[in-house]
């Protein structure tokens, strides 16, 4: 056992396939390196069994909305038979919560990694995702697993629930995604329930949208293989229309997408569960990315980030 250990994870952005991924359609998602979570565990001589600095108190006093994280920590403590030890757990997160960037999954992944590092035990990827799921099931109800899969990856991924979780290579060296936070909170569990209810109440109008979102993800994968950024942009805008019809967009997100497209974006859409959160826009080059980012801030975005694809360590390209 170490005296101190850390675990790290990333924010995730769903490029294609949010919501339809819950119904086993494919999705493409990417980790955002500049927006990370770092969990640090340190032995302390005495005191609370686990004092969580991030939440500013002992875990027994964690708020109800953090029940998932609390349950995960409790599970890890008993997994390692560490009930008699005293720790300080510090979590530094650059992710805004409830903005579709996978804050809860990234927090869970960082905590699991920190615990395994602390107890010097090897952690397999499937073990990591299973453990993160303990938290995600409590926080989100019926998670597809995409958030944890992306938060724990260094590379963009192609994902089908319970079937495929693989890295994808593509070659878009000058392009980037601009991410803009609306500052509006959107609860994943509410958005997922809304889509579920629409599917039950109005299957004739909702099911084709889910099917189309899945097809868009497949087409996008081909467009990545042929480096067709114009098509990728169009597919993003088409996704946004479908997601809006499913009822998970709002006026601010629609406006941000329009502002991005008016400022040279090849396409734009909401990302994650919607009802708030972030919009992503595809920029052909760095100059366009800066212009889109500035325009979105002027339109009211509380934060923007630019993720360039050249930063990923693709094996090709």
* Residues near ligand MEV (CB under 6 A): 14, 18-19, 21-22, 100, 102, 140, 143-144, 146-147, 188, 191-192, 272-273
Residue 12 CB, nearest approach to ligand MEV (Å): 7
Q: Pick the closest to residue 15 from 3, 29, 2 (CA basis).
A: 29
> Residue 145 or residue 299: which is nearer to ligand MEV going by CB?
145
> Residue 96 or residue 272: which is nearer to ligand MEV going by CB?
272
Residue 123 CB, nearest approach to ligand MEV (Å): 22
The tokens describing 173, both together, are 């060296």
> Residue 21 or residue 89: which is nearer to ligand MEV going by CB?
21
Residue 18 CB, nearest approach to ligand MEV (Å): 4
Residue 265 CB, nearest approach to ligand MEV (Å): 22
CA distance 162 to 141: 16
Q: Which residue is nearest to ligand MEV (CB)?
A: 144
How far, CA to CA in Å, does 55 sit from each of 59, 65, 69, 76? 8, 11, 11, 18
Angle at 114 between CA 113 and CA 117, to 5 degrees: 85
- Backbone dihedral angles phi then psi of residue 247, each to the nearest 5 degrees: 95, 15
Q: H or E stretch including 287?
A: helix 286-298
> Residue 267 or residue 272: which is nearer to ligand MEV going by CB?
272
> Residue 199 or residue 295: which is nearer to ligand MEV going by CB?
199
> Residue 14 or residue 172: which is nearer to ligand MEV going by CB?
14
SS3 state at 36: strand
Residue 264 CB, nearest approach to ligand MEV (Å): 27
Residue 311 CB, nearest approach to ligand MEV (Å): 22
Residues 6+ apart with CB under 8 A from 65: none
Q: Pick the closest to residue 101 from 160, 221, 18, 215 (CA basis).
A: 18
CA distance 235 to 16: 8
């Amino acid at each position: 056992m170490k005296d101190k250990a850390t675990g790290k994870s990333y924010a995730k952005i769903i490029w294609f396939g949010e919501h339809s991924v819950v119904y086993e359609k494919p999705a493409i998602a990417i980790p955002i390196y500049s927006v990370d979570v770092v969990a640090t565990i340190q032995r302390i001589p005495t005191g609370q069994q686990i004092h969580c600095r991030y939440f500013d108190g002992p875990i027994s006093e964690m708020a109800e909305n953090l029940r998932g994280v609390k349950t995960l920590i409790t599970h890890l403590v008993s997994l390692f038979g560490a009930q008699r030890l005293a720790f300080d757990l510090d979590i530094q997160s650059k992710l805004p919560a409830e903005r579709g960037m996978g804050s809860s999954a990234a927090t869970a992944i960082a905590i699991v990694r920190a615990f395994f590092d602390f107890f010097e035990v090897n952690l397999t990827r499937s073990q990591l995702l299973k453990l993160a799921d303990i938290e995600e099931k409590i926080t989100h109800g019926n998670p597809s697993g995409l958030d944890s899969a992306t938060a724990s990856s260094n590379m963009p991924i192609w994902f089908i629930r319970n079937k495929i979780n693989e890295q994808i290579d593509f070659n878009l060296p000058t392009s980037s995604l601009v991410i803009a936070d609306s500052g509006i909170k959107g609860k994943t569990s509410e958005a997922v329930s809304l889509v579920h209810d629409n599917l039950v109440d109005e299957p004739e109008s909702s099911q084709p949208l889910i099917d189309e979102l899945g097809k868009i993800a497949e087409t996008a994968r081909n467009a990545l293989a042929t480096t067709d950024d114009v098509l990728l942009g169009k597919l993003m805008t088409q996704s946004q229309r479908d997601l809006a019809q499913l009822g998970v967009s709002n006026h601010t997100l629609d406006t941000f997408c329009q502002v991005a497209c008016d400022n040279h974006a090849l396409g734009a859409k909401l990302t994650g569960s919607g009802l708030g959160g972030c919009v992503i826009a595809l920029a052909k080059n760095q100059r366009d990315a800066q212009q889109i980012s500035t325009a979105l801030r002027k339109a009211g975005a509380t934060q923007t980030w630019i993720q360039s694809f050249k930063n990923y360590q693709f094996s090709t390209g």
